[in-house]
């Protein structure tokens, strides 16, 4: 059966016809990549495939092995794409991915992955966007919109708190609710609400002891009831512990198939009454709805092998090059050494220039349609001389003598050129899905090479290839310019050449801090935990929130990235508007390209909002805008903040809370390059919470009704000195119940009960 028949699939009708066994069959996959068909009722099977930065469609249909897939465009992985800070760009990539998924007969693309980069050590950071939930959520939402605009589904993953690879199928992320809400769930919430992904993939790990796949609070209370999600929840591949428990919690689809194990357990659980059939119906309905929604894309069986086609492949290769150039972050550029003149004599050093590292390993690894390398692209663009020396051996097979030769060749090449461009980075074996790193250092032989090349030629430009942050502080001073190239996809080599020669102007910004050393990272002492638990003890102080609060120096701060142009910031105006309980702040300012070439600036708005009782980050990114400006051009940017942008998640009352007070607004080019500042006084109705037997004297006095009731009680014979500020300073933290027992105070338990009734009435 093909998609056209399935378009007419009537979900209610089919659901009513399904037997118990068929429903159970439907909610578990077939093979690695397919949903189960129900031939009798005309329900076809749809194909899900990785994702996220390219389509990994296996010809056999059931291979988890990599290298077996049809060629597809390898776009820059999320670590790079996130550095563009440009949702429009991510949406463009999403559209291209959707077209390729259609061409390769994939109905649901397994991405984007938007987990927070809690530690630079996480082996899978190359697949994630940022240490900040706003950047992650915005970029993820945009990618979803792009893919889904082509009729292809997405899978927002890995929900949730999957921030390490160590023991990833079992480890419990022990994390308090405020931290979950403000940091680890916030990006998912944004992407779910703004972009409605057709599926959400629950993660392998446990959260506070409960498997994500069995976590009713996560999958039902939060995702569906609070956020209004009405799509399907799929398990990560092998994340189901016990399928009936999953279904009870709100899981809809087990992947991959378990050869009947999952469905049999579900049938037994319904029969023995431990699983309500209504829960199974809900899951089966979600699968049928997904199939009905995406079945139109199923390729007819007689249509031959799926393929991109050479025209589309060429078009998308060019797109991948443009996108990759937008992702490169220019970390430093002393003396304006970049861009290079086309006729310069350049020594290109480093095997990565010839053998690029362009994507990460694991489930996202795809077979590219073609592969550029920077050396070849530099040679094509240069009108001068380009020489090459490998400098190091990626297989690390070189013995001492061979190593010495590589070093000597590199030094000779560097000495003979105007400028040395050194390509270094992490070898593929250093980072991957499945394991975490233990340090953030570059290989020692590459650092040795860097020093030798810098001794030979002062005009040193370093190009980095790495999926996740590497330490630069031990060699940074030796380089005049550093390009953070991340992993740039199949056309990254061309993009690097474009940036080096100024064909493209760098506009990437760090979506994660580069610390001086790994020991400075907030999760350092807790990551990756032991004995099945990892404590998120740093709370909300993740990434720059921590480095700023602790006033720690960093190598390069969150949001940083240079351009070949300069940008001026001016005319900040901030206005507070209150409409009942929903405050908004509108912020506008002007950005001017004061340089001599066209370029892009990413304007960032950081907010410091008040809180009486809770530690809050110094500043939090609450809005950003990427904009293109011609030389001399100015644009006015207007950003609007809502209540959520000012709020914290109250750990006790479990609600988003905005406090009245002064809000500081900082606009700038990075988290530590704040150019404009304004403040607004926010006044909102404060929620009134009930008092109880443990409420302190200070809490009574701060409570609008409590202070009146207590005041009345004190006037009518109690000890009126209790409300005296000097007294409150000393005993304000004592529960009124206990003060009431002191001699002469006269708040007996009966009196306190009466007072509580009055207050909480
Ligand atoms: C990964 C997912 C991926 C799935 C299917 C899992 O191991 O965690 O991100 O989509 O495999 O390949």
Strands of 294-366 (E only): list them: 329-333, 345-349
Going by alpha carbons, the residue nearest to atom 5 of ligand 1 is 237
Going by alpha carbons, the residue nearest to atom 8 of ligand 1 is 236
Going by alpha carbons, the residue nearest to atom 3 of ligand 1 is 363
Place of tokens 């009345």: 712
Mutate to test the pocket of ligand 1, among 167, 236, 238, 239 (most ligand atoms within 8 A of CB): 236
Q: Which residues contact 655 (CB under 8 A, 6 or more apart)?
A: 649, 687
Q: How confident is the model at residue 3 (pLDDT cuts 50, 70, 90)?
A: very low
The pLDDT score that the predictor gives to residue 716 is 75
Q: How confident is the model at residue 533 (pLDDT cuts 50, 70, 90)?
A: very high
The residue annotated as part of the active site, out of 167, 215, 236, 252, is 236
Residues written for the chain = 761
Cα-to-centroid distance, 142 and ligand 1 (Å): 21
Structure confidence by residue, pLDDT tens digits, 366-399: 999 999 999 999 999 999 999 999 999 988 777 8
The pLDDT score that the predictor gives to residue 7 is 57
Cα-to-centroid distance, 363 and ligand 1 (Å): 5
What are the beta bridge partners of residue 200? 156, 233
Cα-to-centroid distance, 124 and ligand 1 (Å): 11
Cα-to-centroid distance, 578 and ligand 1 (Å): 45
Atom number in ligand 1 closest to CA 127: 9
The pLDDT score that the predictor gives to residue 6 is 52
Q: Which residues contact 399 (CB under 8 A, 6 or more apart)?
A: none
The pLDDT score that the predictor gives to residue 581 is 65
Going by alpha carbons, the residue nearest to atom 12 of ligand 1 is 363
Cα-to-centroid distance, 667 and ligand 1 (Å): 38
The pLDDT score that the predictor gives to residue 722 is 81
Query: Can you tell me the distance from the alpha carbon of 318 to that of 314, in angstroms, rounded to the nearest whole number?
Result: 6
Going by alpha carbons, the residue nearest to atom 6 of ligand 1 is 237
Helix, strand, or coil here: 721?
Answer: helix
**Is the confidence at residue 688, as pLDDT, over 60?**
yes
Structure confidence by residue, pLDDT tens digits, 331-360: 999 999 999 999 999 999 999 999 999 999
Going by alpha carbons, the residue nearest to atom 4 of ligand 1 is 237
Structure confidence by residue, pLDDT tens digits, 292-308: 999 999 999 888 889 99
Helix, strand, or coil here: 473?
Answer: coil
Query: Can you tell me the distance from the alpha carbon of 55 to that of 39, in angstroms, rounded to the nearest whole number?
Result: 27
Query: Can you tell me the distance from the alpha carbon of 556 to that of 516, in angstroms, rounded to the nearest whole number?
Result: 8
For residue 304, give both structure tokens: 């031959």
Mutate to test the pocket of ligand 1, among 68, 237, 365, 366 (most ligand atoms within 8 A of CB): 237
pLDDT, the chain, mean = 95
Structure confidence by residue, pLDDT tens digits, 658-682: 999 999 999 999 999 999 999 999 9
Query: Can you tell me the distance from the alpha carbon of 397 to that of 351, in angstroms, rounded to the nearest whole number?
Result: 13
236 is annotated as an active-site residue: yes
Q: What is the mean pLDDT of residues 586-614?
A: 96
Atom number in ligand 1 closest to CA 203: 8
Q: What is the mean pLDDT of residues 74-85?
A: 98
Instruction: Please classify residue 416 by burial: count the beta carbons closer than 10 Å to its beta carbon, then call 0-12 exposed, 13-18 middle and 19+ buried.
Output: middle
Cα-to-centroid distance, 43 and ligand 1 (Å): 25
Helix (H) or strand (E) holding 262: helix 261-271
**Is the confidence at residue 474, as pLDDT, over 70?**
yes
Atom number in ligand 1 closest to CA 111: 10
Place of tokens 């959260």: 207
Atom number in ligand 1 closest to CA 50: 10
Residues with CB under 6 A from ligand 1: 50-51, 110, 157, 236-237, 363
Cα-to-centroid distance, 27 and ligand 1 (Å): 18
Atom number in ligand 1 closest to CA 204: 8
Structure confidence by residue, pLDDT tens digits, 137-158: 999 999 999 999 999 999 999 9
């Amino acid at each position: 059966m093909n998609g056209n028949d399935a378009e007419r699939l009537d979900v209610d009708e089919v659901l009513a016809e399904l037997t118990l066994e068929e429903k159970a069959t439907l909610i578990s996959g077939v093979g690695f990549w397919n949903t189960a068909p129900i031939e009798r009722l005309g329900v076809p099977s749809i194909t899900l495939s990785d994702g996220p930065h390219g389509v990994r469609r296996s010809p056999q249909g059931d291979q988890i092995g990599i290298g077996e897939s049809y060629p597809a465009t390898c776009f820059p992985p999320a670590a790079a794409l996130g550095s563009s800070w440009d949702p429009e760009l991510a949406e463009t990539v999403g559209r291209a991915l959707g077209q390729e998924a259609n061409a390769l007969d994939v109905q649901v693309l397994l991405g984007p992955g938007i987990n927070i980069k809690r530690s630079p050590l996480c082996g899978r950071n190359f697949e994630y966007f940022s240490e900040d939930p706003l950047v992650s959520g915005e970029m993820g939402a945009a990618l979803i919109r792009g893919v889904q605009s082509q009729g292809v589904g997405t899978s927002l993953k890995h929900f949730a708190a999957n921030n390490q690879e160590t023991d990833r199928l079992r480890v419990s992320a022990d994390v308090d609710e405020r931290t979950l809400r403000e940091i680890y769930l916030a990006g998912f919430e944004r992407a779910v609400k703004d972009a409605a992904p057709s599926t959400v993939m629950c993660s392998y790990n446990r959260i506070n002891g409960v498997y994500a796949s069995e976590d009713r609070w996560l999958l039902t209370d939060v995702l569906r009831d609070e956020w209004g999600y009405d799509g399907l929840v799929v398990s990560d591949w092998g994340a189901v512990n016990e399928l009936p428990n999953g279904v009870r919690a709100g899981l809809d689809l087990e992947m991959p198939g378990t050869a009947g194990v999952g469905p049999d357990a579900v049938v037994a659980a319904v029969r023995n009454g431990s699983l309500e059939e209504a829960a199974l119906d809900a899951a089966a309905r979600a699968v049928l709805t997904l199939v009905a929604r995406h079945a139109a894309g199923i390729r007819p069986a007689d249509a031959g092998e799926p393929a991109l086609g050479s025209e589309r492949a060429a078009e998308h290769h060019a797109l991948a090059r443009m996108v990759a150039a937008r992702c490169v972050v220019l970390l430093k550029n002393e003396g304006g050494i970049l861009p290079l003149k086309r006729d310069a004599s350049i020594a290109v050093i480093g095997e990565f220039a010839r053998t690029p590292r362009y994507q990460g390993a694991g489930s996202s690894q795809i077979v590219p349609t073609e592969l550029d390398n920077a050396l070849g692209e530099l040679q094509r663009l240069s009108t001068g001389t380009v020489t090459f020396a490998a400098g190091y051996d990626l297989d690390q097979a070189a013995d001492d003598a061979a190593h010495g030769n590589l070093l000597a060749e590199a030094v000779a090449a560097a000495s003979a050129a105007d400028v040395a461009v050194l390509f270094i980075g992490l070898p593929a074996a250093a980072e991957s899905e499945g394991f975490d790193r233990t340090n953030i250092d570059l290989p020692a032989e590459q650092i040795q090479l860097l020093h030798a090349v810098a001794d030979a030629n002062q005009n040193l430009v370093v190009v980095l290839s790495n999926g996740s942050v590497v330490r630069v502080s031990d060699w940074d001073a030796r380089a005049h310019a550093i390009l953070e190239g991340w992993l740039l996809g199949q056309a990254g080599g061309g993009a690097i050449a474009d940036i080096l020669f100024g064909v493209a102007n760098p506009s990437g910004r760090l979506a994660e801090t580069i610390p001086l050393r790994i020991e400075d990272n907030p999760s350092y002492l807790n990551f990756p935990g032991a004995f099945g638990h990892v404590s998120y003890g740093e709370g909300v102080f993740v990434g720059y929130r921590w480095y700023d609060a602790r006033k720690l120096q960093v190598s390069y701060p969150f949001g940083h990235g240079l351009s070949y142009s300069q940008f001026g910031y001016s005319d900040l105006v901030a206005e507070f508007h209150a409409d009942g309980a929903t405050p908004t702040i509108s912020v506008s300012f002007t950005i001017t390209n004061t340089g001599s070439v066209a370029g892009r600036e990413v304007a960032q708005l950081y907010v410091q909002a008040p809180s009486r009782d809770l530690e809050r980050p110094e500043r939090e990114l609450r809005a950003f805008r990427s904009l293109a400006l011609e030389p001399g051009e100015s644009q006015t940017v207007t950003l609007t903040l809502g209540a959520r942008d000012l709020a914290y998640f109250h750990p006790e009352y479990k609600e988003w809370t905005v406090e009245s007070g002064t809000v500081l607004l900082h606009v700038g080019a990075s988290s530590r390059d704040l150019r404009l500042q304004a403040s607004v006084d926010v006044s909102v109705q404060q929620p009134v919470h009930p008092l109880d037997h443990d409420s302190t004297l200070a809490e009574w006095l701060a409570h609008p009704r409590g202070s009146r009731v207590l005041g009345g009680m004190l006037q009518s014979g109690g000890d009126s000195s209790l409300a005296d500020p000097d007294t409150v300073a000393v005993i304000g933290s004592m529960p009124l119940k206990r003060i009431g027992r002191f001699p002469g105070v006269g708040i007996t338990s009966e009196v306190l009960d009466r007072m509580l009734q009055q207050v909480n009435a």
